[in-house]
Amino acid sequence: MEKYLREHSSPQSEALEWIEKQTHIRTNHARMLTGPVQGRFLKMTVGAISPERILEIGTFTGYSAVCIASALPAGGHLDTLEINDELEDIIAGGFERAGVADKISLILGDAKDSLKTLRREILDDRTRPPYDMVYIDANKREYPEYYELVFDIVRPGGYILADNVLWDGKVWQSPLPQDRQTLSIARFNDMVASDPRVESVIIPVRDGLNFIRKLQ
């Protein structure tokens, strides 16, 4: 199915092909790459809802960031958080090749620490505006914490997207697997489904994308 979807979706750019190749050559976790089908979905989503300020949690090698940034409206900006500074060379190279380096700020460090700083700047210091959209694709064990940390810094009517929420089907197994990643993703999905402040739908693209709209 993945092969068919890829062949019948718009092709990826040369910059994205470069990022994909470098990810396979220079990392041991190429499976984490967003890929052309979900990348195109992200790009078209940004194009449809026109968010001006976006936060990404989990840059990896920059594939999804390039997809998102390439669809930003004029004046739009993406802040992207990544813990692994050894990937900075690939990330920067991809941004430059895609021509989006001026639209993206790469913030290196632990995501939760970076989010606490961003919360202070948005909620207390008022030196940053709230985000129109947040894309979560980082440590699966921390999804519930990410949700709680970002919720108040997303504007009413804004969006939160979370990747890998189907987790290879583990989240609906009975009994539920007891590894920390599965438990945290299942808890995250339960949190969203029971949260009256949002409306949401899980889309079965790739490994599942929870598409969440903040109501108030």
Res. 206: pLDDT tops 90: no
Q: What integer is the mean pLDDT of 67-80?
A: 97
| CA proximity to 65, closest of 30, 110, 25, 106 | 106
Query: What are the domain boundaries of the chain?
Result: 2-214
What is the tens place of the pLDDT at every residue in 111-157?
999 999 999 999 999 999 999 999 999 999 999 999 999 999 999 99
What is the tens place of the pLDDT at every residue in 148-197?
999 999 999 999 999 999 999 999 999 999 999 999 999 999 999 999 99
Res. 1: pLDDT tops 90: no
Cα(158)–Cα(49) distance, integer angstroms: 9
Per-position b or e across 142-156, b if 16+ CB within 10 A of its CB: bbbebbebbbebbee
DSSP for 158-186, please give it: EEEEEE--SGGGGGG-SSPP-SHHHHHHH
pLDDT for 31: 85
Cα Dmax for the chain: 49
Q: Which CATH class is domain 2-214?
A: alpha beta
Cα(60)–Cα(90) distance, integer angstroms: 9
What is the tens place of the pLDDT at every residue in 34-44?
889 999 999 99
**Residue 30 pLDDT class (50, 70, 90 cuts):** confident
pLDDT for 168: 95
What is the tens place of the pLDDT at every residue in 17-28?
999 999 999 998
Name 132's Cβ contacts closer than 8 Å, sequence gap at least 6: 49, 51, 52, 53, 54, 154, 155, 158, 159
Res. 100: pLDDT tops 90: yes
CB 147, CB 121: distance < 8 Å:
no
